[in-house]
Structure 1
Amino acid sequence: MTLSTDGRVRVGVDIGGTFTDVALEHPGGLASAKVLTDHAKPERAIVRGIVEAAQAAGVALAAIAQVIHGTTLVTNALIERRGAKLAFVTTHGFRDVVEMRTENRFEQYDLNLVLPQPLVARPDRFTLRERVAADGAVLLAPDPAEIEGLAARIAAGGYEAVAVGFLHAYANGAHERMMADALRRAAPDLSISLSSVISPQMREFERFNTVIANAYVQPRVAAYLRRLVEALRAAGIAAPVFLMHSGGGLIGLETAAEQPVRLLESGPAGGAIYAAETARAHGLDRVLSFDMGGTTAKICLIEGGEPKTANRFEVARTYRFKKGSGMPVSTPVVEMVEIGAGGGSIAQVDGLGQVRVGPRSAGSEPGPASYGRGGEEPTVTDANLLLGRLDPARFAGGSIPLSVARAEQAVAAGLTVAGLSIAEAAFAVTEIVDENMANAARVHAVENGRDIEAFTMIGFGGGAPLHACRLCEKLGIQALLIPPGAGVGSAIGFLKAPISFEVTRGLFQRLAAFDAEAVNAALAAMAEEARAFVRAGAGEAPTVTTLTAFMRYKGQGWEIPVPVPARALAAEDRAMLEEAFAAAYRALFGRTIDGLAVEVTNWSLRIATTRPAPEPVAPSRDGPGLRPERSRRFFDAALRRMVTAAEVERSALTPGRRVEGPAIVVEDETSTIVTSAFSVIGQADGSLLLLRKETLA
């Protein structure tokens, strides 16, 4: 695969729960590596993977000009509650907002409802007598003596970090800045996060949660980034390091260390960019991105060559698929659904004798039982191995030989208690995990008002090519694309991402009383802030600006994103905004509501460096068939039996060459399973196009 390059050597690195993926772009093309993640010191796996990729490409480490990194460190720290000793300062009377939440019962009849516990315990939540109105007016100025006394108490408490979130600070952050100044005087080494900087948006519960999450992980992320740079320098890599942020762009080290909450979905965002670039190259307007690795699976809608984005998402949900059961975070993010379904997902039998898969994962330490590294519980990888879908000698390019005997032992010990044979248990594991992922895709499509059968699936990640064909069968999707380099797709996506920064501001207005002057003043300040961040990483490179208004009908509890022209607005643009809202609302819900006033709650402005248009790929559907020299047997889930499948090297599928399913397309990074209902055709860019046989008749 040849990427667009200016001759520089660039590296994308994605740390997952099981594997660390490396993609190295150089003038001759792309080299990749996949190594097990080192959870104790993730930077060691990064350096090891970069060295392997550089050796494969014949590139000196000193020639690397840029390193782009995405990590699950922030997400894992929040889920596993491994963060800083934290204090939270808020307005007097609002100490318990993070515990009371929104009083929404997402599971109405569950008497034992379980919610995530706040990251900061009640004794560590402090209050200050101050008050700002929703329009930014100061109603009660804080007493300087009270501020200094509170700062002294926190400094004496041995805290590593402090989050500050006052009521309506999105409209006026002066009191938060006063508190921060006092804290810096009392404890100069303290990490301090302000809600007016991290998430200046309406709704105190979401805003408080976001600033708390940022403060909670900030010391750990800053220390990790320092270690990463030191490890790279020690290896002879002096290149600047950029981080992939959740919104699908790149930010510098300093910004990442100050606002690590922006990194929550950095790895999956890289995968969405990878799928979006593939969609643009192939001229696909409606795409379902399916990213499956060793620990999780991610599903994202991509329309018009752009992944769907949002300004809010949840982490650490206590109920799978249930909105409201997690910790809400208000930060720009590529919107996707993520479930615990990966190669390392552990299968078990529950109290009712049913096979369940995930969300627990064997990860890389110890890994699936077949890795031979101490794992004893059955996983999805073990099941795929027993069903003939993996070649035990070629897994991860042969670097991790798989043991069929250990996989059989784990499945027999953990799952056959349900009365299943080893083969039946292995099939149950893969079929359940496939149904879990298909159900997640259905829910995600319905929530966004989309008919999923009309989409093309793009599958990537080490696990997706094994499962994507079966998902298409379950979802009624006719076409599947496996791009080149799919096994390290997120890392490749990092190399294609723009340097960007998104700024969001709360500014509530009724459209009937639209104040263009106030909006333009806010937008100008937002543009200057975003431009400064982008300029720091990209200099004076050409940029593009996008503007989104978050709007709703009066009386509604939530708003929807509405794209609007990125320019100064005038009073007469009120009609344009109302029409844009009606179009967006109709696209989502199928109708509009007559007679209700429309409101704007937040504005979001994004500045990003321009991305070159990918080279178009003409679709290849007709060509000579390929006679494979080898065959292998695997279990075809739709037929419920073992089938004899052609085994084909991916490099043999040149443009137009076709192989009828059942087949297995093998390569170092992964294997693509072509079920009996599909055919696979090589494409000009090295992609594999899988089509239902009836569409080729």
Structure 2
Amino acid sequence: MTQFRIGIDVGGTFTDLVAIDRDGATVFAKSPSTPADPSLGVLAGLEELAGRLGLGLRALLAGTERIVHGTTVATNALLERKGARVALLTTEGHRDVLEMREGLKDDRYDLRSPPPAPLVPRALRIGVRERLRADGSVAIPLDDASLDAAVARVRESGATSVAVCYLHAYRNPAHEIATVERLARDLPEVSVSRSSDVLPQIKEYERVSTTVVNAYVGPAVQRYLARLEHRLREGGLSGSLFIILSHGGMAPVEEAGRLAAATVLSGPAGGVAGARLCAAMLGIPDLIPFDVGGTSTDISLIVDGQAALSGARGLAGERIALRSLDIASVAAGGGSLASFADGRFQVGPESAGAVPGPACYGGGGTRPAVTDANLLLGYLDPATFLGGRKRLDQAAAEAAVDALAPRLGLSRDETALGIHRLINLRMADGIRLMTLRRGVDPRRFALLSFGGAAGLHAVAVARELEIPRVVVPTVASVLSAWGMLASDLRYEVSRTHVGESAAVDDEGLRAIFSDLEARAGARLREWTDAPPRIERSAEMRYGEQVFEIDVPLDDLAWDAPDLVARVHERFHARHEELFTYASRDQEVVFVNARVAAVGAVPAASLRPAEIPAAAPSPGERRIFLDGWRTVPVHRVEALVPGTTVAGPALFEAETTTVLAGEGDVVTVNRYGWLDIALRPGEGARGET
């Protein structure tokens, strides 16, 4: 039987699914997300996917060798503050680390902004008498009476999850392990996360915060994954189920449940994996992945074919120091709501979400969303949305925009165009955060447009930033799900070793990494028979600095007699690359060694587009640019590779629509993708 690989990305509005067979044939589907129980939307999407393949659901699952899934359960629990009731057990006298944070505010110049409310209230932050020194030696043994009292307080509090984080436990986890054993014995129904397992490295606040986030979202993630796996197995799945983690690698369900905090960027990570594959297929090393969905726009960078990883990420005001892909999210999507308040016209950050959705979805929404504006501007065909499976309600969109227009002193058309242009500017600002504010010139990149809502905005956003080229894959609306099938198994381990790197000799450095490689490789071999590929890096800084930088060490000659000197030079070069200077006469401090064991799996691929026997003549539609005009409407699947089309024009696929502007030239490449060369000249301010 044909063996399928299926990628599933649960978004805020739609659940995207992609099935690829061994010959590279690709079929995809969309299903409305079901926030109350995302697994229901997944099963409904699989039913739709099976129907498109001419199969029943059981036959599809029986013929599937691998499902790779991106989940938003942890993300939503954190954003909506709907996680577990968490208690924190920590070293006596240190329970306020979570509230003091690092002594800084997100906006240090806003004197009136209150500090974020910690995930664990003070009454549930419980000190335990014990103390380890910085080198891991015991200063105060773990006190049984104090631990007994702490466990009793947890029981009385009604906490359903516990974070255990003792001072310097990254050096010596013995006290944390003993505490977890006591909790497992006395409170077996309570979920437990310990810092020496979640993030065994230096920096107390980052370790506490990450462990607390893991405890906060862990129970919800574990329940969801258990429920999903049960339903899939019951439905006939005998193949593997993997979850995408924030670093872009995938892991078995058990690992994702253990390290739930590593799933907070699960969906967007699939998009970055897909973007890397696109870069390789197109031979374009520098891409800006531009992913627009119903509630947000996710932006990242592909430089020389690689995506950056960072350990300094956060979400909803919480620090999550696990390694993740460097992705910026902007609250701007098809469901972003337009409003006028306090004399200010704005679009977003509030979103209509999946329920009720934009007014035109007919789900009861009455406020104008970006999708409503795009419908009224003629960019969307109400009869062909989602391949005709969902007809958009033009009258409801008109009523929503008409309620806002008088407050702005504009006509319906002008209001809709204002919504469209304003969301474009918000999206462009998100790209500026990832590029210009980091000293990166976006004009040397191409923009990769994907996500169901991106096609109507990508060209205008690129023009605003003077980006000369936009690429829209045929799988654009489901590229995150498709990209998940290009992800590898990945397991990361780290070890803190603070000290001048000059004090570590070559053999000592090799020993540190050799130990990490053995641990990472052993864990990966539990998941796959594929031989592991080892990736090495170090987090280092100058002696006077507070924050370290990540230094890749993969291509070093590890057997060379001057290994430490080579690591020093690699750090100086990386520092100069990031900050334009290096201080080679300063001491260099080695903070964390890190190793990732990667198990490669066969990547997803696409066959070149099948050439249609004859391209049909395009249709026409009146759309509003600076006024109403008639433009051609092309069906993407009917375009012959090599075809060129001059804008303005619309390009419709089943699950996305692309708008090309005046003077832009659209070429259909060998895969059937749209490759758009923007007209040279002035920026797009005031243009669509």
TM-score, with structure 2 as normaliser: 0.93
Query: Given residue 174 of structure 1, which amino acid in structure 2 is its aligned partner?
Result: A
Q: Give the counterpart letter for 1:263 in structure 2.
A: T
Matched, 1:529 2:524: no
2:630 is equivalent to residue 630 of structure 1:
no
Shift in Å, 1:516? 4.7
2: CA distance between counterparts of 1:404 and 1:356?
A: 22
Structure 1 match to 2:152: 152
Residue 10 of structure 2 is matched in structure 1 by: 15
Residue deviations 1:271-290 (CA, integer Å, cap 9, x gap): 00001100011111111110
Name the SS of the counterpart of 2:485 in structure 1: helix
Q: Deviations over 1:227-250 (max 9, x none)?
A: 111222333334321101111111
Residue 241 of structure 2 aligns with an amino acid whose one-letter code is: V
Gaps of 5+ in 2: 682-688
Check conservation: 2:310, 2:325, Cα contact below 8 A: yes
- What is the identity, as a one-letter code, of the residue corresponding to 2:341? D
Residues in 1 aligned to 2:138 and 2:382: alpha-carbon distance in whole angstroms: 67
User: Are 1:349 and 2:340 an aligned pair?
Assistant: yes
Instruction: Note if 1:677 corresponds to 2:673.
Output: no
**Residue in 1 aligned with 2:298?**
298
Instruction: Give the TM-score, by structure 1 length.
Output: 0.92
1:432 is aligned with what amino acid? L
Q: CA deviation at 1:374?
A: 0.5
Partner of 2:685: none
Name the stretch that deviates more: 143-152 or 447-456: 143-152
Give SS of 1:393's match: coil
2:43 paired with 1:52:
no
Q: Are the equivalent residues in 2 in contact too, given 1:282–1:616 (CA < 8 A)?
A: no
Match of 2:312 in 1: 312
Instruction: Describe how 1:331-346 pairs up with structure 2 within 5 A.
Output: 331-346=322-337
Q: 1:107 to 1:615 in 2, by over 3 A?
A: closer
1:371-390 equivalent positions in 2, closer than 5 A: 371-390=361-380
- Kindly provide the amino acid, as one letter, of the partner of residue 46 in structure 1: V
Deviations 1:510-547 (A, max 9, x none): 12222555544443343233223422322x21331111
Letter in 1 for 2:74: V
SS at match of 2:301: strand
Equivalent residue number for residue 550 of structure 1: 539
Tell me which residue corresponds to 1:192: 192
| Whole-angstrom distance in 2 between the partners of 1:419 and 1:18 | 31
Query: How far is 1:570 from its partner?
Result: 7.4
Structure 1 match to 2:204: 204
Hey, what does 2:111 align to over in structure 1? 111
C-alpha distance in 1 between matches for 2:594 and 2:627: 52
**DSSP-derived class of the 2:65 partner:** strand
| In structure 1, C-alpha distance between the alignment counterparts of 2:424 and 2:494, rounded to whole Å | 37
Once the 2 structures are TM-superposed, how far is the Cα of residue 134 of structure 1 from its aligned partner? 2.5
Distance 1:614 1:40, change over 3 A: closer
- Please point out which of 442, 446, 462 is paired with 1:472: 462
CA–CA distance in structure 2, aligned partners of residues 114 and 400 of structure 1: 44
State the Cα distance separating 1:618 from its structure 2 match. 11
Aligned residue identity for 1:40 = A
Amino acid in structure 2 at the alignment position of 1:551: M
Distance in 2 between residues matched to 1:516 and 1:557, nearest whole Å: 25
Shifted more, 682-691 versus 143-152: the winner is: 143-152
Q: Following the alignment from structure 1 to structure 2, what is the Cα–Cα distance between the partners of residues 515 and 208?
A: 32
Match of 2:428 in 1: 438
Structure 1 position 97 matched with structure 2 position 90: no
Deviation of 1:600 (Å): 1.9
> Which amino acid in 2 is paired with 1:659?
V
The residue correspondences of 1:214-293 to structure 2 (distance < 5 A) are 214-293=214-293
Q: Distance in 2 between matches of 1:617 and 1:256?
A: 32
How far apart in 2 are the matches of 1:22 and 1:372?
24
Show the 5 A alignment for 1:562-581.
562-565=551-554, 572-581=562-571
Amino acid at match of 1:524: S
Residue 496 of structure 1: SS of its match in structure 2?
coil
Distance 2:26 2:660 in 1: 25
Post-superposition Cα deviations, 1:235-267, rounded to whole Å, max 9, x if no partner, equal 333432110111111100111111111111010
Which stretches in structure 1 are left out of the alignment for 5+ residues? 1-5, 317-325, 620-624
The equivalent residue for 1:513 is: 503
Give the secondary-structure state (helix, strand or coil) at the position aligned to 1:545.
Answer: strand
2:521–2:532 Cα contact (<8 Å) kept:
no
Match of 2:686 in 1: none
1:485 deviates by 0.9
8 Å Cα contact 1:281-1:617 kept in structure 2: no
Aligned counterparts of 2:517 and 2:502: Cα–Cα separation in 1: 25
Q: CA deviation at 1:613?
A: 7.9
Query: How far off is 1:461 after superposition?
Result: 0.6
Change (3 A) 1:420 1:306: same
State the Cα deviation string for residues 166-218 of structure 1 (Å, max 9, x = none). 11211221111111111112112221101111011221111101000001111
Aligned to 1:228, the other structure's residue is in SS state: helix
Q: 2:408 — aligned with what? A: 418
Determine if contact 1:30/1:57 at 8 Å carries over to the other structure. no
Greater Cα shift, 229-238 or 247-256: 229-238
Aligned to 1:323: none
**CA distance in 1: counterparts of 2:644 and 2:601, whole angstroms:** 33
**Is it true that 1:648 corresponds to 2:634 in the alignment?**
yes
- 1:475-513, Cα deviation, whole Å (9 max, x unpaired): 110011111211111110111111111223322121222
The alpha-carbon deviation at position 327 of structure 1 amounts to 1.2
Secondary structure at 1:87 match in 2:
strand
Q: CA separation in 2, counterparts of 1:568 and 1:178?
A: 38
After TM superposition, list the pairs within 5 Å mapping 1:58-77 onto structure 2: 58-59=54-55, 60-61=59-60, 62-77=62-77
Please give the alpha-carbon distance, in whole angstroms, between the structure 1 residues aligned to 2:159 and 2:541: 40
CA distance in 2 between partners of 1:176 and 1:447 (Å): 41
Equivalence for 1:396: 386
> CA offsets, 1:611-638, max 9 Å, x none?
668889999xxxxx988431223233xx
Q: Pick from 324, 327, 347: which aligns with 2:318? A: 327
Q: Secondary structure at the match of 1:431?
A: helix
Q: Structure 2 residue aligned with 1:36, among 32, 38, 42?
A: 32
